[in-house]
Amino acid sequence: MNKRPVPLGARAFDVLTVLLENQHRLVTKEELLDSVWPDEAVIEHNLVVQVSALRALLGRESIATVPGRGYRFVAGPPAGVEPTAPPAGPPDKAPRTNLPPLLESLVGRAADAALLATLVRRNRLVTVTGAGGVGKSQ
């Protein structure tokens, strides 16, 4: 086994980490983009470049592509390393998103919320109108 260090960029390292943490399943492109670039809007080509760099380092067959869906790390463990058991289930962490966290309540809108709840129980269809940014989608 060759133990010399190899250069690996931070983003490629992050992609490899996500693939290794999920090596027993397909990791979608969206999952990788959200994990590696959590607070940035990036195009899919950035992911393609990082996977290409990893394949150049680890071998073309090390990462399988599922066209239109994502990637799977398929290389076996290095010689002399025992493989680990598959994880028991998906991680218990909330998915990352660029959306703000949901508010627990609408400040100053208790009466409006109560009226809306009553209308929704009584009618099949309720339309809420108002200016943008006033909390209609809450």
The pTM score is 0.54
Where does the pLDDT of residue 75 fall: very low under 50, low under 70, confident under 90, or very high at 90 and above? confident
Q: Are 35 and 42 in contact (CB under 8 A)?
A: no
Q: What is the pLDDT of residue 41?
A: 86
> Per-domain residue ranges for the chain?
10-73, 99-138
Of all residues in the chain, what percent carry a pLDDT higher than 90? Answer: 36
Query: CA-CA distance, 134 to 137, in Å (whole number)?
Result: 9
Of all residues in the chain, what percent carry a pLDDT higher than 70? Answer: 76
Long-range CB contact pairs, 8-11, < 8 A, 24+: 8/53, 8/57, 9/50, 9/53, 11/36, 11/37, 11/46, 11/50
Q: What is the pLDDT of residue 117?
A: 84
> Who has greater pLDDT, 81 or 63?
63
Pick the CATH number of 10-73 from 1.10.10.10, 3.90.1300.10, 2.60.40.60, 3.40.50.9100: 1.10.10.10
